[in-house]
């Protein structure tokens, strides 16, 4: 591997990337600490003459070098070393060493110090030493050298106007970069490390500005794309009249927004957010009818087969009586079945195609696609979402994305600069709040008794186990074990099992049996996480709840409380709990509000992981932290609007500097 390859692995492909490769932290080598005052736990630099240097061969070979600075002695200890080092670190030589001090058997010592041989006339550095993020094969010295050289050549003109930067208290860009790469000895270390220093804020602002500029440009480009307006009112009215319920106020509101978008010549790019069970599917069905009523086809893609099949079942139930042709496509179908469906779709004999990512395989051709719906959109990669939308010819299909993972407002602003958002913030009437209980697994017998009682009352029960992962099987009671145990314990009850490794036909058969009430208890891994709808299920037990994430627990719990019966969710955990696991379970106990749960989840996890960093404009952010830097994010958004109104060259220069080579993140 060449240095260039290694640098590329660090994301460094240009001089700009080098300059923007900023230190993680700093080491202060501008001072020498007298050895007599060095204490275990300090990180410091000492300097002295070598008075002893020996290779100790007891147990593991180590090189021990003792330094004396006239006032005290300290040992430098090397566990890995070369012969050349033994020769270099000879008695009588002077050494400057930097590192973490610990108490050793014979006084203080530094294990694996960074060191250099010095003569008495060598001056100390006058700047703090930056420590950069790096990868194997690129030493700090190499990086520092390359960055310093780039810094000495660089002469970047500011792309941010002084009247924007000034009021925010931000120094010019070059000045900020010089300070961050080479802080003077008296620079405030803590402000540099927590990134509150004005130089850091300049960089963060620049980065947020680049993100806003690029998202706004992508949006403007999309606005020039064409779509076929969908206006099929009559079909929509027929479905509305045939539904077994009335839309809630929130659904009506969301539907009006979606319906209006579909009538436009510009492709819809809308996210429909609504808590688990809020009734997003019917909005998708109405949208499909509007497309079909305009003589177009519609497609709905869901992340798992179980979920896709549930959608298919439900949509068929609503639409087939109205003469709409609904078809189903998934990886598990026999090749002959798939081929037949593909032919029907290609021939225009299917109005609505429902399925998994099998829908975006090359062989699938939906010639007349007017609307693409993506359920649980965050579970798909950008490429899959785009593939479903890729239309034929000039016009793009409209796209509706649905998600039960609410995005808090602070994130929405940056993440969704390019999306319209509708929210269903109301549950259909008649839902009963689910009562949540936390119990340790020591009380498993009581939980099993509860399962019995629920079934005796004519109800059904979910029993959820963490995913089967080979690497974790040791301490993890898998769904298979749980199923075996429960089958014995519950003797006369009908206990079924589904998990991700089962053949699809078997999985579907078991789910069907549960839906039809032919099973009392369904033991499952998280394959039931999304979308399964069995109103008669009133109890959910989650084993090893401490291993699940908050979003997952919330989704799972949303599977109960859908019918008239009083419902409960038992979170069974194995103590001791980590601090985060404790906090997660506490959140689940305290609230059932999806938005509140998402907010707390964000606090626990940070935004990147929350959204799946690669999926969003968020991936453009290396330095900014949307919680900490919310104020700068707002300022960047306003500045982006002003810049976009001005000469394009300045915008280009800014984006080149910040985003070169990372455009793929913008397609979301
Ligand atoms: P989600 O938003 O989680 O996808 P679904 O679309 O699966 O929710 O809806 C959950 C359940 O609520 C389904 O059984 C659906 O038919 C039902 N439902 C949806 N809207 C209403 C309504 N307005 N009134 C009564 N039931 C509804
Ligand atoms: Mg759903």
d(CA 282, CA 635): 39
* Residue found under tokens 């080598």: 29
- The mean per-residue pLDDT over the stretch 368-394 comes to 75
- The residue nearest atom 4 of ligand 1, judged by CA position, is 280
Q: What count of other Cβ atoms lies within 10 Å of the Cβ of residue 104? A: 15
Is 338 within 8 Å of 331 (Cβ atoms)? no
- Distances 34 to 39, 68, 78, 245 between C-alpha atoms, Å: 11, 10, 22, 81
What are the residues whose beta carbon lies below 5 Å from ligand 2 (ion)? Answer: 531
Could you tell me the distance, in angstroms and rounded to a whole number, from the CA of residue 429 to the centre of ligand 1?
A: 10
DSSP secondary structure string for all residues of 399-437: EEEEESSPPPHHHHHHHTTT-EEEEE-SPPTTPPPEEEE
Kindly list the protein residues whose Cβ atom lies closer than 6 A to any atom of ligand 1.
245-248, 251, 274, 276-282, 404, 428, 531, 533
Alpha helical stretches, state H, 14-172: 15-19, 83-88, 140-153, 162-165
State the Cα angle at 389 between 304 and 416, rounded to 5°: 85
470 bridge partner residues: none
- Distances 544 to 157, 322, 457, 466, 591 between C-alpha atoms, Å: 56, 45, 26, 7, 20
Positive or negative CA dihedral for 162, 164, 167, 173?
negative
pLDDT tens for each residue of 268-321? 989 898 887 889 999 999 999 999 999 999 999 988 787 888 889 899 999 999
pLDDT tens for each residue of 523-582? 988 666 545 678 899 999 999 999 888 878 888 898 888 777 789 999 999 999 988 899
- The residue nearest atom 18 of ligand 1, judged by CA position, is 279
Which segment of 286-290, 517-521, 601-605 scores lowest on mean pLDDT? 601-605
- The residue nearest atom 20 of ligand 1, judged by CA position, is 279
Query: Considering the chain, what percentage of its residues have pLDDT values greater than 90?
Result: 50
d(CA 607, CA 618): 8
Q: What CA dihedral angle connects 326, 330, 336 and 337, to 10 degrees? A: -30
The closest ligand to the CA of 245 turns out to be 1
Structure tokens at 290: 């509007």
Could you tell me the distance, in angstroms and rounded to a whole number, from the CA of residue 338 to the centre of ligand 1?
A: 29
Is 479 within 8 Å of 539 (Cβ atoms)? no
d(CA 117, CA 134): 25
Is 368 within 8 Å of 388 (Cβ atoms)? no
Instruction: Note if the bond before 576 is cis, omega within 30 degrees.
Output: yes
Residue 267 CB-density burial (10 A; 0-12 exposed, 13-18 middle, 19+ buried) = buried
With cut-offs at 50, 70 and 90, classify the pLDDT of residue 511. Answer: confident
Q: What is the pLDDT of residue 621?
A: 75
Q: What is the pLDDT of residue 605?
A: 66
Which of 247, 312, 404, 428 to probe ligand 1 with, by most ligand atoms within 8 A of CB?
428
d(CA 113, CA 111): 6
- The mean per-residue pLDDT over the stretch 491-518 comes to 86
- The residue nearest atom 9 of ligand 1, judged by CA position, is 279
- The mean per-residue pLDDT over the stretch 629-647 comes to 88
Q: Residue 227: which residues within 8 A CB-CB, separation 6 or more?
A: 264, 265, 266, 267, 268, 395, 396, 397, 398
Could you tell me the distance, in angstroms and rounded to a whole number, from the CA of residue 279 to the centre of ligand 1?
A: 3
Which of 243, 244, 273, 281 to probe ligand 1 with, by most ligand atoms within 8 A of CB?
281
Residue 529 CB-density burial (10 A; 0-12 exposed, 13-18 middle, 19+ buried) = buried
With cut-offs at 50, 70 and 90, classify the pLDDT of residue 501. Answer: confident
Q: What are phi and psi of 370, to 5 degrees?
A: -110, -20
64 bridge partner residues: 54, 77
Please tell me the total number of residues recorded for the chain in this structure: 668
Q: What are phi and psi of 146, to 5 degrees?
A: -65, -40
Instruction: Name the range with the highest mean pLDDT among 78-87, 177-186, 217-226, 523-532.
Output: 177-186
d(CA 174, CA 182): 12
d(CA 81, CA 263): 72
Any idea what DSSP says for residue 534? -
Could you tell me the distance, in angstroms and rounded to a whole number, from the CA of residue 293 to the centre of ligand 2?
A: 23
State the Cα angle at 389 between 383 and 395, rounded to 5°: 135
Is 30 within 8 Å of 124 (Cβ atoms)? yes
Instruction: Say whether pLDDT at 209 is over 50.
Output: yes
Residue 248 Cα: closest atom of ligand 1: 23
- The residue nearest atom 13 of ligand 1, judged by CA position, is 279
DSSP secondary structure string for all residues of 376-388: TGGGS-HHHHHHH
């Amino acid at each position: 591997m060449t240095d260039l390859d290694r640098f590329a692995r660090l994301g460094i492909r240009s001089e700009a990337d080098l300059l923007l490769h900023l230190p993680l932290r700093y080491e202060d080598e501008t001072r020498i600490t007298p050895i007599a005052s060095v204490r275990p736990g300090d990180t410091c630099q000492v300097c002295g003459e070598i008075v002893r240097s020996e290779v100790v061969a007891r147990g593991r070979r180590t090189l021990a070098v003792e330094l004396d600075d006239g006032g005290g002695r300290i040992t430098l200890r090397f566990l890995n070393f070369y012969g050349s080092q033994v020769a270099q670190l000879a008695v009588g030589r002077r050494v400057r060493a930097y590192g973490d001090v610990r108490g050793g058997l014979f006084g203080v010592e530094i294990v694996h110090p960074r060191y250099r041989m010095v003569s008495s006339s060598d001056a100390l550095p006058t700047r703090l030493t930056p420590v950069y993020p790096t990868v194997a094969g690129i030493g700090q010295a190499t990086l520092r050298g390359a960055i310093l050289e780039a810094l000495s050549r660089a002469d970047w003109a500011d792309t941010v106007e002084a009247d924007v930067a000034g009021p925010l208290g931000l120094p010019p860009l070059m000045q900020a970069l010089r300070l961050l790469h080479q802080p003077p000895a008296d620079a405030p270390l803590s402000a540099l490390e927590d990134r509150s220093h004005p130089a850091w804020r300049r960089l963060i602002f620049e980065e947020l500005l680049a993100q806003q500029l690029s998202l706004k440009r992508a949006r403007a480009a999309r606005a020039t794309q064409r779509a076929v307006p969908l206006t099929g009112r009559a079909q929509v009215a027929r479905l509305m009249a045939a539904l077994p319920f009335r839309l809630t106020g929130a659904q009506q509101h969301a539907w009006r927004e979606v319906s209006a978008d579909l009538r436009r010549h510009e492709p819809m790019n809308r996210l429909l957010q609504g808590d688990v069970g809020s009734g997003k599917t019917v909005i998708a069905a109405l949208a499909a009818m509007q497309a079909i009523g305009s003589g177009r086809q519609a497609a709905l893609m869901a992340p798992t087969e179980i979920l896709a099949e549930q959608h298919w079942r439900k949509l068929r139930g609503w639409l087939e009586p109205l003469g709409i042709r609904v078809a189903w496509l998934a990886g598990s179908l026999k090749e002959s079945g798939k081929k037949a469906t593909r032919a029907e779709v290609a021939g225009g004999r299917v109005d609505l195609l429902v399925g998994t990512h099998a829908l975006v395989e090359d062989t699938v051709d939906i010639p007349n696609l007017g609307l693409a719906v993506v359920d649980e959109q965050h579970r798909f990669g950008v490429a899959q979402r785009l593939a479903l939308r890729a239309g034929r010819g000039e016009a793009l299909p409209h796209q509706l994305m649905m998600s039960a993972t609410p995005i808090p407002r602070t994130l929405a602003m940056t993440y969704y600069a390019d999306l319209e958002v509708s929210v269903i913030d109301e549950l259909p009437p008649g839902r009963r709040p689910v009562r949540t209980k936390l119990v340790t697994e020591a009380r498993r017998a009581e939980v099993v008794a509860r399962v019995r009682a629920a079934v005796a009352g004519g109800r059904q029960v979910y029993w959820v186990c963490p995913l089967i992962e080979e690497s974790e099987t040791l301490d993890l009671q898998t769904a298979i074990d749980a199923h075996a145990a429960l089958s014995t314990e519950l003797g006369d009850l009908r206990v079924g099992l589904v998990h991700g490794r089962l053949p699809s036909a078997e999985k579907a058969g078991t789910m069907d049996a549960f839906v039809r009430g032919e099973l009392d208890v369904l033991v499952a891994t998280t394959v039931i996480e999304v979308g399964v709808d069995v109103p008669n299920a009133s109890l959910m037990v989650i084993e090893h709840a401490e291993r699940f994430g908050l979003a997952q627990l919330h989704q799972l719990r949303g599977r109960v409380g859908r019918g008239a019966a009083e419902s409960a969710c038992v979170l069974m955990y194995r103590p001791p709990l980590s601090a985060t696991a404790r906090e997660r379970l506490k959140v689940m106990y305290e609230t059932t509000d999806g938005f509140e749960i998402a907010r707390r989840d964000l606090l626990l996890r940070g935004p990147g992981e929350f959204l799946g960093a690669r999926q969003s404009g968020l991936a453009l952010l290396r330095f900014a932290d949307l919680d900490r830097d919310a104020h700068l994010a707002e300022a960047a958004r306003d500045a982006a609007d002003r810049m976009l109104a001005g000469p394009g060259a300045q915008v280009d220069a800014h984006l080149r500097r910040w985003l070169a080579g990372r455009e793929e993140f913008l397609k979301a």
